[in-house]
Structures are given as structure tokens and as C-alpha cells.
Amino acid sequence: MSRSVLVTGGNRGIGLAVARALADAGDKVAVTYRSGEPPAGLFGVRCDVTDSEAVARAVEEVTIQQGPVEVLVSNAGITRDGLLLSMSEETFGSVVDTNLMGAVRVTQQVVPGMLKARWGRLIYVSSTTGTAGAPGQANYAASKAALIGLARSLAKELGPRNITANTVSPGIIATDMAEGVTGARMKQLLSETALNRTGTPQEVAEVVRFLAGDGSSYVTGANIPVTGGGGVGC
């Protein structure tokens, strides 16, 4: 079935892989992008998720183009690493504003349409760092852990209307974001995986595709790790 999908941060990395996987599965897929051109073959809306008005405009454009959003993949995210003791409130807040509040803003815009349709899929891209923590990433970990609480609460608020809410928690995935992780830190992260390698954006996209589809109809409030075995048993 062709569904109206919105992927935030869908112009590169994991978001682009998700958008392409869902488009290949026959869905109508829109992506947000902040600068440059949208990816070829996908409907792009310019949107910074820290700007409430831009988010509202973007969701309106998507609705006109392909109908009310039925599947939201909230993926846009940033890191601004540093030790907490020397981290400014601005640095901490900017990560929370993008990773958590960005997701909240988009959710508030798309849920009314899902309520009307009595069907919807909310999928948030969290991170294993959200539950495991990482030195220098207190802001990022806090924002990603919060997404799990957000999804679980929405699962309970919206379940009676047949709307599911889940998180996907990738480990280390080969994208621009992971390029900053090198040397000893990368070696350590790889040694913590069972598969001893980084994941690909496509491997995350496959899990998102499952959550977006009919096969996941009884899965809600779940957090699915995509870590190559990293963190297993913790």
C-alpha cells in the first residue's frame, strides 16, 4: 500500500537511506532538507526542525503534495560533543532543541491527521548512546534517551487510535556523523560489537521499513537496537 511518509533529515545519511527504502517499497516519500537541493526523485521540503513555523509549513506542503502524513520518521539529529563541566548551556540546549524538540515539533504537526485517519506510525531515530551513555556526549545521550520516553508515552496516548510509536537505536553507522569517530574510540566501539564492523544506513533503513509497514502492527513502545550486537545483554 502506498502511504504518505515524511522523513526529517532525509537528504543524506540514515534519513536518505530510509527515504529511498520506503520509496522503493512504493510509498510516497517526502524529505526535509536545510540547504542545497533535495535528493533526486524524492519530494523535498526545506525545513529546519528547530523552527516551529518552518515545521508547520513543511508539513502543510507535504500534505498538499501527497496527503496527510501517515508515517513519520523523525531522524534529523546533531552532535556537539564536549565534557559536561565545560559545556555551555547553549551547546547542551542546541542538541536537545534539534534532537528532541525537533521531533516533538514534527510530531505535533502530523498527529492530528493520524488521529483523523485512526492510523499512523511514529518512528524516532534514537541511539544506543541514549541508554548506554558516552563520555563527552551527555547532551546527545540525554536527547536520545528522551526520545525513548517520548515514543513510549505516545504509544500509550495514541495506541487506542491505532497509532504506534517506536524508536530505532543504531550503534555506529557509517555516515558523515560517524566520521568524527576515529582511532582508539572507533576501535573500542567496533570491539564492542559482535559483528566487528560499522553498520550501513541501509541496515538501519530495513528496520525502519519494518516498523513503517503492516508487519509491525502489534509493535509499539519498542526500542529496537541496530548495533551489530553492541550492547547485547546490557
* Contacting positions for ligand NDP (CB under 6 A): 8-9, 11-15, 32-35, 47-50, 75-78, 98, 102, 125, 127, 170, 172-173, 175-178
Min dist. Cβ of residue 118 to ligand NDP (A): 29
Cell 497509532 locates to 163
Rounded Cα gap, residues 52 and 70, in angstroms: 20
124 part of the active site: no
Min dist. Cβ of residue 1 to ligand NDP (A): 26
And the C-alpha cell for 170?
543504531
Q: Which amino acid is at 234?
A: C
Min dist. Cβ of residue 132 to ligand NDP (A): 11
Question: Of 159 and 228, which CB lies nearer to ligand NDP in the complex structure?
Answer: 228
Question: Of 103 and 114, which CB lies nearer to ligand NDP in the complex structure?
Answer: 103
**Other beta carbons less than 10 A from residue 234's beta carbon:** 9
Min dist. Cβ of residue 183 to ligand NDP (A): 16
Question: Of 15 and 120, which CB lies nearer to ligand NDP in the complex structure?
Answer: 15
Q: Determine which one of 33, 124, 140, 218 is catalytic.
A: 140
Question: Of 96 and 115, which CB lies nearer to ligand NDP in the complex structure?
Answer: 96
Question: Of 164 and 175, which CB lies nearer to ligand NDP in the complex structure?
Answer: 175
Burial of 215 (0-12, 13-18, 19+ CB in 10 A): exposed
Min dist. Cβ of residue 10 to ligand NDP (A): 7
Q: Report the catalytic residues.
A: 140
